[in-house]
Amino acid sequence: MAARPFMDAQLSIDNKTATAIVQYKSIPNTIIAIVSQLPAPNDTAFALSYNSKLRSPNTPQFLANVPLKVDRHLFYTIGLVMNPCPSCLNGTQLIASLNNITIVMPQIGLLQAHYFNIKGVLRDANLLTVESRPFHLYGYNFFVVGIGIGNFDPKKDPAKFNLVDPPERNAVGVPTGGWTAIRFRADNPGWGLKTAFVVENGKGPDQSVLPPPKDLPSC
C-alpha cells in the first residue's frame, strides 16, 4: 500500500510518500511487492473519481437511512484566512473559515451564549484562498450525497444526488473549486468545536438540553 498527501491549492505541504506491505497467509514470501504508480498530489479529477465510487452497503443489517425530507438548507464556502498573530512568523497565521468567518474564543460558553441570546462570539476575517478541505461534524455521522467541481447549482445539481446508497462518513473532503453535499439528522443537541452548529431542542426530552443551572460558574 502506498499513500501521500493530496493538495490542489497553491500551498506548500510535506509531500512524503508512506508505504506498507500487507502480506496474507496464503501468499509465499518469494513474491516481491511492487509499489503502484501514484497519481499526482494535485490530481483533483482522480481524487473525485475515486470518491464517487464509494457506496454504503444499504442492507437490512447496514441500512442507509438517508434523510429524504430536508427542513433546512445550509450553504457554506470553505477557505483559508490570514489572521493577525504577533507571536507567529511574519506576524500572521493561516486558519480555516466558513463563509469568510472564523471563530474568536469567547469569554462565555457558546451554548450559554445561544441560550441567553448573547451576540458577538464570531468575527469576520480576510479570505486568502480556497483549498481542498476536510469537513467534519462533531457528534454526527452524515451521508455524502454529492460532490462536484465548479459552483454548486441548486437547480441542477440536486437531481444528481445519490439518495439510495451514499457513503456514511464522519469526515469528508471538499475539493478546491468544487462542492460537497451532505445530509444528516440534527438529533444530538449541544455544541461543537472551533466552528459550531447550534442544534436546537427537539420535541422529546431525549432531544433537548436542560437549561443552565442558576449557579453556573463563568468561564
pLDDT in tens, 126-143: 445 556 667 888 888 999
What CA–CA distance (Å, rounded) separates 219 from 217?
A: 7
Task: Supply the CATH number for residue 74's domain.
Answer: 2.60.40
Answer whether residue 219 is part of any domain: no
Answer whether residue 57 is part of any domain: yes
pLDDT of residue 94: 76
Answer whether residue 215 is part of any domain: no
Answer whether residue 135 is part of any domain: yes
Answer whether residue 209 is part of any domain: no
Residue span of the structural domain in which 22 resides: 2-202
Residues 54/180, Cβ–Cβ less than 8 Å: no
- Tens of pLDDT along the chain (219 residues) come to 888 888 777 767 778 888 888 888 888 888 787 877 899 988 888 888 888 899 999 999 999 999 999 999 988 887 777 778 889 888 888 777 777 777 666 677 777 777 788 877 665 444 455 566 678 888 889 999 999 888 899 999 999 999 999 999 999 988 877 889 999 998 887 766 666 667 788 888 888 888 888 887 766
Q: What total number of domains does the chain contain?
A: 1
110: helix, coil or strand?
helix
Answer whether residue 68 is part of any domain: yes
Q: Is the sign of the CA dihedral 16, 17, 20, 21 positive or negative?
A: negative
What CA–CA distance (Å, rounded) separates 41 from 16?
A: 10
Provide the strand spans (E) within 110-177: 122-124, 126-130, 133-136, 142-149, 168-169, 171-174
Answer whether residue 169 is part of any domain: yes
Answer whether residue 119 is part of any domain: yes
pLDDT of residue 60: 92
Bridge-partner residues for 94, per DSSP? 82
pLDDT of residue 65: 93
